[in-house]
Structure formats: structure tokens, C-alpha cells
Amino acid sequence: MSGPVDPTNFLGLVPDERLLEKDMSRLPEAEQRHLPVKSERGSSVVLNAGVALTAASLIGGIALLVLGVILSLADRVTLGNALLMAVGGVLVATHWGWVHVAEFIRQGMEGHAGKELRQEMAPWLSAVHPYTRWSVITEVLDDGSIRIVRLQHDPVHTLPGKFSFTSERVKEETHSGDLPAGQIAERAETLRREAALETAEERERWEVAADAYETALLAAGGEAAQTEARRAASAALSERINRNLREPPLVE
């Protein structure tokens, strides 16, 4: 089982937007935000319209071609007959273009909806901070037994200046389904309280380091500002650890 990450390694970083998508599941369930379900109605209407126009262009184009040929054979080739065949040929040749136009419009609509969603979720994303969390979930196995799983959620570097999370199963307990439900529930709740307390401890460590970093960064200047700020954050974190060793905090 690995220990928590050093919060000073993530000072000055911002959350990666991937946390709004696939990386959301790497956070504890209690911290996840279920994104609004995007309506597919508008996209369906556009695609259906594209299909309908494609079919209409193909059928109409063939009809004009046939009509132009029939009129030309029945009488003679005139400018009007030639124009009918020309228009029909163009419609048949370009009928698939409506599908591409509809797809282009649909992608534009989805891009706009995605931008609005990112703006809506921006406050939540900015409130995600890079410290280790722990959570507990339960699973029911095929034989009816219940497995209690402890998860560790660690921040990781992604793009330059950004962070996301990993999620790892660090401990598992399997309890027979024959045991009293209350006993299993009590054990799961005990592990959840432990996870919450440890998470709160890591959050406090992050806040101490982040506050010291921001204060030192504002006070410092020049090229060495970030280095000095990081050193100040490490010193504040070290002092807090030493203080806790001298006067251990109360826990449940």
C-alpha cells in the first residue's frame, strides 16, 4: 500500500479538463459530479433532415434525368430537356453532400454544447485540489458474499501545469453473506470513517502548503519566486508535521 503523495509537488498546478470526462471516475464517488445528459433531439433532427434531403435529391435527380431522356426521345433534344437532364445529373451526383452538411452542423452543435458544459462545470473543476483521498465501496460477489474495497485516489501530473487523478484498490475485505448484515455494515462504516479522517488530514496538509506557497509567491519577486514559494510551503508543512508529533491531534 503506497502512502499519500507530497502536496508540494503539485503547487501551482490547475486541474486537467479531463476530470470533466473520463477521469471523473477516478475521484471518490462523493466528489464526482454527474454531468447533465445532453439532449440528442437537436442532433437527431439535423441528421434526419440530412437523410431526407439526400433521398429527395437522389429520387428527384433520377426523375428529372428520366423525364429529360423521355422528352428528348419523344420529340427532340431541346434546351429545356437538356437543362432537366443537367439538373438531374447534378442532384444525383451531389446527393451525398447533404449528409456531410448535416454532420458538419451536428458537430458544430455538439461543440457549442460542450463549451457551455465546460463553462457550467468550471467552478466545480477549480475547487478540485491535488491531495490524496481515500474512499470505501462495497461489492456483492456471485456467491452472495460482500467485498469491502478501500480505494486510494492520488493526484498525478498530466499536461504541463495540470493534474488529474489515478484510482487504485489498496485493500479488500470479503465477508460471507451468512454474517449478520448489521455486522458487515458496521465494518464498512468504520472503514469509511477512517478514510474520511485520513482524507481530511491530507486536505489540511494541502491547505497549509498551498497557503504558504501563495503567501510567499506574492511576497517574492524575480525568477526565483516560485522556488522560494515552494521552499516556504515545504517549511510550513514540515513545521505542521513536527507540531503534530509533539502534540498529536485528536481523532475519533
- Residue, of 83 and 208, whose pLDDT is higher: 208
* Residue (of 207, 243, 20) closest to 126 by Cα position: 20
Across residues 16-31, what is the average pLDDT? 92
Whether 106 has a pLDDT exceeding 80, the answer reads: no
Q: Give residue 153's pLDDT.
A: 97
Cβ contact 12:226 at 8 Å: yes
CA atoms within 13 A on the CB side of 150: 20
Across residues 140-151, what is the average pLDDT? 92
Q: Give residue 105's pLDDT.
A: 67
Whether 211 has a pLDDT exceeding 70, the answer reads: yes
Close Cβ partners of 3 (under 8 Å, ≥ 6 residues apart): none
Whether 231 has a pLDDT exceeding 60, the answer reads: yes
Q: Give residue 76's pLDDT.
A: 66
pLDDT in tens, 38-60: 555 555 665 677 677 777 777 87
Across residues 112-140, what is the average pLDDT? 85
Whether 248 has a pLDDT exceeding 70, the answer reads: no
* pTM for the model: 0.64
Cα distance between residue 194 and residue 42, in whole Å: 47
Q: Give residue 244's pLDDT.
A: 63
Across residues 119-145, what is the average pLDDT? 91
Q: Is the dihedral of CA 108, 109, 110, 116 positive or negative?
A: positive
Q: Give residue 146's pLDDT.
A: 93
Q: Give residue 131's pLDDT.
A: 95
Across residues 113-120, what is the average pLDDT? 70
For residue 27, what are the CA distances in angstroms to 134, 145, 167, 248?
Answer: 9, 26, 7, 29
